[in-house]
Structure 1
Amino acid sequence: MPPLPQSFFARPVDELARGLLGCRIKRGRVILAITEVEAYAGPEDTASHARFGETERNAAMWGPAGRAYVYLCYGIHNMLNISAGQPGRASAVLIRACEPVAGLDEIRRRRAGKSGAALLAGPGKVGAALELDTSWSGHPLYRAGGLSVLPGEPPAAVLMGPRVGIDFAARADLERPWRFAVANSPWVSHPQGLRPG
């Protein structure tokens, strides 16, 4: 199955976030289905890495759409984001959680033998399962090979709620319902605060 075209990613970040639920991320034999995401807009979003402008670290956020933005969190966890919208807008979707589709043995090896939702319910866990590091930033996810995003099964129902771990952000951004998850999935990192949307 070919990857999704670049045009799929070139839309407003909150629309892309919802649209990514159920899509597949493929790296080698490992395939994951996306179950939870968060949207981050440009410099006007005080929760976004773009709030201080373009840097070497966040350059992939600024486009073009459909590129990986991988950053190191707390010096430990590599987090996968996907750039959205038009070049220069600096918007991206954080992949918060996934469900294994293929390559379970490889995923478990990379996750030190964990099983169940503990394997992939968290953005650092997704990065580890895909064995990513910051060298993947800028990689085009709409091309086959390496790391790519494939079509999947859209969820029957979606949950939404505020983003998590952004206590530093302005109140309006704290309350923005830009976290989306597949309803009735155990593969969600933060079920609290989610409601039908």
Structure 2
Amino acid sequence: MKDIKVLAKGFFLDRNVTEIAKDLLGKIIVSELDGKITTAKIVETEAYDGNVDKACHAFPNKLTPRTAVMFKEGGRSYVYLCYGIHYLLNIVTHEEGDARAVLIRAVEPISGIDIMQERRKVRKQHDLTNGPGKLTKALGISAENNDLSLCSSDTGLWIGSREELSDFKIITTKRVGIDYAEEDALLPWRYYIKDNPYISKK
């Protein structure tokens, strides 16, 4: 854990949400929940913009009890229940009042793999975290982890980086499962590390 440095809040504030989504690739999610520690590398993301994007929960810049966290200052977690089954983890970006977020679609397990296997009741490591609902269960993330600062190790859930070579190619493509968003479904706002075995969908 000593080699993982917490990302500063500024990382989530100063650039376009699509740039932040790309820059999150290779970063580390650290989960210290229920007395168990797991870590994983982010390998797939999607960007959402409540100002212009019909696929975003906050479009068109709509504040509701559900989306309220998206209007807070960036660097916070937005965790919601999808189809009444899976919790999905998003990271809020930008300044307060500007509803944008990055969905974490897939991660590569680093440590605590036995804990992830127990939580998911899956033995094959390849299947542990290759999807947005799978990764939250593996990391122990639920609605209780909504609206947390991800820029502090005190919250039990945070995003960090390691000093290592990030030699990978980023693939850019359209997002998954948002046909309802009409023309915005075609926006090239999904990013993943080329040839990573944990990608949710090739």
Equivalent residue, structure 2, for 1:195: none
Does the 8 Å contact 1:155/1:183 carry over to 2? Answer: no
Cα deviation for residue 175 of structure 1 reads: 1.2
- Equivalent residue for 1:132, pick from 133, 141, 163: 141
Could you tell me the TM-score, scaled by structure 2's length? 0.90
Equivalent residue, structure 1, for 2:128: 119
Aligned AA (1:26): V
Equivalent residue, structure 1, for 2:88: 79
Q: How does 1:114-193 map to 2 (within 5 A)?
A: 114-145=123-154, 146-152=156-162, 153=164, 154-171=166-183, 173-191=184-202
Aligned AA (1:170): E
Q: Give the match's secondary structure for 2:78.
A: strand
Cα deviation for residue 42 of structure 1 reads: 1.4
Q: Give the match's secondary structure for 1:43.
A: coil
CA distance in 2, matches of 1:133, 1:54: 22
Give me the identity figure in percent: 40
Cα deviation for residue 89 of structure 1 reads: 1.3
Does the 8 Å contact 1:13/1:39 carry over to 2? Answer: yes
CA distance in 2, matches of 1:75, 1:185: 29
Equivalent residue, structure 2, for 1:40: 48
Equivalent residue, structure 2, for 1:7: 10
Provide, for residues 42-74 of structure 1, a one-character-per-residue CA deviation record: whole Å limited to 9, x for no partner.
Answer: 132100011151111121111211000000011
CA distance in 2, matches of 1:133, 1:72: 8
Q: Give the match's secondary structure for 2:51.
A: coil
Q: Give the match's secondary structure for 1:114.
A: coil
Aligned AA (1:83): V
> Given the alignment of the two structures, is residue 22 of structure 1 paired with residue 22 of structure 2, yes or no?
no
Shift of the 40–155 alpha-carbon distance from structure 1 to 2, 3 Å rule, reads farther
Q: Give the match's secondary structure for 2:39.
A: strand
Aligned AA (1:181): Y
Shift of the 45–155 alpha-carbon distance from structure 1 to 2, 3 Å rule, reads farther
Q: Give the match's secondary structure for 1:50.
A: coil
Q: Give the match's secondary structure for 1:60.
A: helix
Provide, for residues 118-137 of structure 1, a one-character-per-residue CA deviation record: whole Å limited to 9, x for no partner.
Answer: 11011001110111111211
Aligned AA (2:68): A
Does the 8 Å contact 2:49/2:59 carry over to 1? Answer: no
Aligned AA (2:179): D
Equivalent residue pairs, number:
190
Cα deviation for residue 155 of structure 1 reads: 4.5
Q: Give the match's secondary structure for 1:128.
A: helix
CA distance in 1, matches of 2:115, 2:144: 21
Could you tell me the TM-score, scaled by structure 1's length? 0.92
Aligned AA (2:53): D
Deviates more, 1:127-136 or 1:66-75: 127-136
